[in-house]
Structure 1
Amino acid sequence: MLSKTFIIAALAAAVTATPIAQGQSSSWASGAPAATVAPSSAPAPVSTGAPAAVAVNPTAPDGLVAKLLTEPNTVGRFKEIQSQLATGTINLKFDFNPAANPAITPGAGGQVDLAQRANFPILTGTGISAAGIFFNPCGLNTPHFHPRATEFLTLVTDTKMLSGFVLENGLVSEFNTTLTKYQGTVFPQGSIHFQQNLDCQPAVAIAGLNSEDPGASSVAQNFIVNIDPEIVDATLGFPNEINADNFAQFKKNIPTPLAKGVEECLQRCHIAY
């Protein structure tokens, strides 16, 4: 079937729009938004207030988190943390500024800087993590889910942000809301959720998650790009093409679980599809 090619083309923008996506620079990469081409009436970019020089967050030594996880109690864990702090190997603070996290490859829509136990070892054993999310104008954090955490996200810039989530099978209607400065919302663990910057200027949000290793799985990217093409084709109802004219019909043809099966098997078993 030709649908795999058309599906990937249709979702290419989504793959590059996410702050989690790889390979394109972000206007936040220097710690301050770059100039953008916009009508003269467009709002000016938001300043991050970042200093000219930003220290890079230290890289945790190999094996440190494993050692912390095997300490017999909390006091032992923090004694080890204390010794690492004394030598300057780790830090007691985490800088979310993108310039302090050069190892993160931004997407076209912005950047996510996640403080978790792997890069901020003091979180080991605390059951929490946090993310600074830097959106370019119109930036979209494409639908994704956290397998091990619920997320509470707060918008901290004077902008507007649309957010939404779908919980699970059995309740598939979308919960959504629009946030303004200092307003927050929640995304339950495992729910597919997104955030969309509605403004023509950068936006920043801070998110707290109730796991020191929350994980993230980008739905479109991992499904369309990484799953066997025949499985994708069968799951989507064997569309010949997906475009703006037939998208509504395409959505109607997506089968419910369990799907009928892949084309090769259906042909071999003489089952119509």
Structure 2
Amino acid sequence: MQTITSILALLAAATMASPVAISEPQSLEARSIEYYKRFDDLNPLTKREVNPNTVNSLTPAQLEAQREALLLAQSETAREKILFPNPPNASNDTFQFINNTVTPPTGGSIVLSTVSNFPALGSTGLAGAVGFVNPCGLNTPHWHPRSNELLTVVQGTLIGALILENDSGFGNVVGAPPPVIGALPQINTTLTNYTGMLFPKGIIHWQFNPECEPAVFVAGLDNPDPGRAEAARGFFTAEPDEVVQASTGYSDYLTPQQIKELRPTLTSSFTSIVESCAKKCGIPFE
């Protein structure tokens, strides 16, 4: 009996000396930071060093001045003097695609080089992009109004998709084909390492990483100022609300109140992660 009493006393003393802490539930941001920290530790390829010798550090005013000077240059020699004032320095002729996808929570990021941030592209007819797509990241449906895009996956897996345009029937004209009602045809495929896909100018398209590993793509565009227009954001921005209601075909499908509540949540570029994929990959989602 004395032995049992002594054991109970020791247990009580240990409990008092080392109380069990009751942890507070983590916020979504805290859980996301913890997830991405583990993700980075397991995926060293997501950490890419920046080469300071290739980073163009011009201010916005300097970039504007360089764009104007290159636009006015009458010869290749004149252009070379603007781009390469201090040989062998190549900073005006290089562009650093910095990866910042590890900043939680995010579905990824696109780094785009255009005439706006890389004036050397001005007379070339070219632009470029590198996309760093986190697990379950979505590059939202969009189109480039002034450029074709050739996208190639260089790491991981992406689903690439484009939506075909409608050119059969405009209004209820007598003797003409009836207007198309319902969803438009979609073209989609799975892109793995070093597989490219063409997204024609003006066609709505998107990419999605369905896997639990990161993906990276590079893309070339045939206009130094390709532009980007968001499909959902552009559509739901229309006012008055009756314009959006009429476009859906049902006046009671979306109420004005629902439209007003939806507009502030619309995003550009990468959205947050896709819920069903996030659950599969164990990524914090709210």
Alignment TM-score, normalising by the size of structure 2: 0.61
Letter in 2 for 1:195: Q
Distance between the aligned counterparts of 1:127 and 1:82, measured in 2?
20
Alignment of 1:227-266 (within 5 A): 227-241=239-253
Q: Could you say if the C-alpha distance between residues 202 and 81 of structure 1 is closer, same or farther in structure 2, counting changes exceeding 3 Å?
A: same
1:6 paired residue number: none
Are 1:93 and 2:105 an aligned pair? no
Shift, 1:86, TM fit? 5.5
TM-aligned CA deviation for residue 228 of structure 1: 3.9
Matching residue of 2:227 = 215
SS of corresponding position for 1:34? helix
Deviation of the 1:129 alpha carbon: 0.8
Quick one: which of 208, 215, 224 aligns to 1:203? 215
* 1:163–1:193 Cα contact (<8 Å) kept: yes
Q: Secondary structure at the match of 1:156?
A: strand
Residue 177 of structure 1, CA deviation: 1.1
Instruction: Kindly tell me the number of residue pairs found equivalent between the two proteins.
Output: 200
Partner of residue 168 from structure 1, selected from 159, 165, 176: 165
Q: d(CA) in 2 for partners of 1:50 and 1:199?
A: 21
CA distance in 2, matches of 1:89, 1:63: 18
CA contact (8 A) 1:138 1:197 kept: yes
Deviations 1:3-33 (A, max 9, x none): xxxxxxxxxxxxxxxxxxxxx9xx9xxxxx9
Amino acid at match of 1:123: L
User: Is 1:156 matched up with 2:154?
Assistant: yes
Aligned position for 2:190: 178
Counterpart of 2:57 in structure 1 is: 58
Q: Distance in 2 between matches of 1:169 and 1:98?
A: 37
1:41-56 superposed matches below 5 A: 44-45=42-43, 47-51=45-49, 55=52
Query: Residue 69 of structure 2 aligns to a residue in which SS?
Result: helix
Q: Which residue of structure 1 aligns with residue 274 of structure 2?
A: none
Q: Does the 8 Å contact 1:46/1:201 carry over to 2?
A: no
Q: CA RMSD in A?
A: 3.2
Answer yes or no: is the 8 Å Cα contact 2:84–2:92 preserved in 1.
no
Ranges in structure 2 where 5+ consecutive residues have no aligned partner: 1-28, 169-183, 255-286
**Matched residue SS, 2:45:** coil
Q: Within the alignment, does 1:78 sit opposite 2:76 as a pair?
A: no
| Aligned 8 A contact 1:160 1:179 in 2 | yes
Amino acid across the alignment from 2:162: F
What is the 5 A alignment of 1:14-29? Answer: none
Q: Secondary structure at the match of 1:108?
A: coil
Percent of aligned pairs sharing the same letter = 37
Q: Report the CA distance shift for 1:117/1:232 in structure 2 as closer, same or farther (over 3 A).
A: same
| Residue identity matched to 2:70 | L
Largest Rg, 1 or 2: 2
Does the C-alpha gap of structure 1 residues 87 and 183 become closer, same or farther in structure 2, counting only changes over 3 Å?
Answer: closer
Q: Which amino acid aligns with 1:98?
A: N
Q: Normalising to structure 1: TM-score of the pair?
A: 0.64
Q: Aligned pair 1:188/2:196, yes or no?
A: no
1:90 Cα shift? 4.7
Deviation at 1:57, TM superposition (A): 4.1
SS in 1 for 2:93: coil
